[in-house]
Structure 1
């Protein structure tokens, strides 16, 4: 069954979804949460947040959204995650678009695809690649692999 605990909250279709913020919405998927009451830190209201499908996703920031994918979190106000696995958008208007274990953790930061990338500078962005970190204001990285994260490279003994 679904759980709704706030004014104008809705959980529609899917399995075991929860909508706990005012005006929060979950549509389809399984074990998804829209709203802050289920947030382990309890610091985001989740009002007017939305989760559309996927599995085990959480939109806990006010006006935040998660669209599909699984095990992803949008905890910043106005933050969004679109698909992928284990992604997090944790600051004001931060966004992650797909990929695997990517994080956008500062205001207006974004990661578009790739794997294990972190956009932690104000308005920073990463477009794909692996293991990159954009930690300076307005920094952009396009499709690289961090030299600190060598992938599939064997060194001579």
Structure 2
């Protein structure tokens, strides 16, 4: 079960690449992204702000870490498994983004490096769950992840502004 401890670490290695590299890459590639994906303009703009993006990552890290600790303490993999499946699918989405954009994006290196961990661990725990349970917990993990991301992308800019005292009149 020692592989459970690795999920928050592997997650953060991937997220560090995003936090460090993505805002600058987005600034340099905004015109191309706006032209090819005009419906993504607001998302691109929000991801360009490194501190705001880092707040979202922090909140996700807390959730993944809490689910990991809870799963270890309760000897129940379910919460951790939801996070693992959602993270693995997140990495696959980045690989698809790379294939669609057809040029380097700052998430591809760690996506390729972290995906084998997700696959290996998924194989290690496959006997804990039936296929229908795997699909259910995968669905739950993805829904929670998507709702959380949408919520955090709305909340983080205001939270960052508040943290910096920009709400004073």
TM-score range for the pair, normalised by the shorter chain length: under 0.3
Higher relative contact order (CA 8 A, sep 6+): 2
Q: Compare the two structures and name the one with the higher helix fraction.
A: 2
| Structure holding more strand per residue | 1
Query: Normalising to structure 2: TM-score of the pair?
Result: 0.21
Larger radius of gyration: 2
